[in-house]
Structure 1
Amino acid sequence: MNRAVVHQAAALLLGYPDRDWPGRLHAVRSALEPVPGADIRLLRQFCARVDGTAPLDLAARYVATFDRSRRRCLYLTYYTDGDTRRRGTTMAGLKALYRDHGWQPPADELPDFLPLMLEFAARTPDTGARLLADHRPALELLRFGLAAYSSPYADVIEAVCLTLPGPGPATLEAAQRLARTGPPAESVGLLPFPRLRPVPDTPQAPHSPHVEETSR
């Protein structure tokens, strides 16, 4: 089924481009080659756009894209729960859902990290599809944020959105309405979005504090 293929491919493509990135990209391109569909074409388009980019360069672009703007966050509950106590409750529910289906995500990653959710959806298609549909407001806001940034990753998110039931919002304003008021302002001391990936020029070192981007 195309949907599971899209979700698994997107999970791999949205992961941090570390040293194994060239092999990962090749594996995804090979798996997508015989599969038809508009969503698959978008994934192929992303692969073509980043093909030949050195992993170190793509890693720097990845950090700039996803770690430096609230509008392009890969932690989906942030869009609807923000830095509120409700977000902790939502993530506890995600962990319980994963456990109920015999799936144990990595201990060093939060359960609302989109690549993890996509891998879960690929492995448990029915429940995973409902989970992604429940988080459609966040996915659509991410899609618009990446498109405004002219990021090739917008193709990957658009492919995922095409697997969701019904039409998506046609405008950013409609997506914002879908997410109601967007990230709430209440803070409980969490970072706006965790940075658990290594910096691009020293792959094993921890991140320095993030720089909040406000202009894009």
Structure 2
Amino acid sequence: MRILIVEDNKTLADGLGRMLRDAGYVVDAVHDREGADAALAAGGFDLVVLDLSLPDGDGLEVLRGIRARGSPTAVLVLTARGALDERIRGLDHGADDYMTKPFEFPELEARIRAVLRRHAGARGGRLECGPLVFDLDARQALIDGVALDLTARELNVLQILIGRSERVVSKQHIAERLTAFDADLSENAVEQYVSRLRKRLEPHGLRIRTARGLGYALEVA
């Protein structure tokens, strides 16, 4: 899953980025409204962690822009503005959650998981396809209760596919959610991850179908 941090305090943004990467997320960070608008125009994010006090404008304008475009991207506001009317305004403008500074990282991470679960339509923090269960909280894939030994990239590809099981997901969409701005991932690399996942899933009655020229779909065989 790919997260955009919009935070003018670069030290805080760097610290959040490190902790979220350690938790298995792909993370980019920008430090003003202009950077946020440019990043979001490029697309590819599952969640935005949004500060409201930006040096070149109000973060609420970033939030308004996301919702005006009809974007499904989840937004968690993380700000020093803790007054009740501020919290109400943020939620009314379309924030999925609102958290005030100072904060504890374990709570922020838990709120991120909760927001992503809701957007994924997960029940009980789990995504399922046949015998395959993806535990969003533990970030673990299990078949018949046994955890699959997957790399971080393979796990992320599988999460993307099971989140849209039975539907085709494009290679471009997968690549966008596996890499940050300063990294590059070819479609050939995506094919390699999918190939390795196929070998792990097919013995259990699952397949990753190739829709030629379109992408992949995770299905029960």
TM-score, normalised by the number of residues in structure 1: 0.31
Select the structure with the greater relative contact order (CA < 8 A; seq sep ≥ 6).
1
Specify the structure having the higher radius of gyration (Cα). 2
The structure richer in strand per residue is 2
Length-normalised TM-score, structure 2: 0.31
Q: Which has the higher helix share?
A: 1
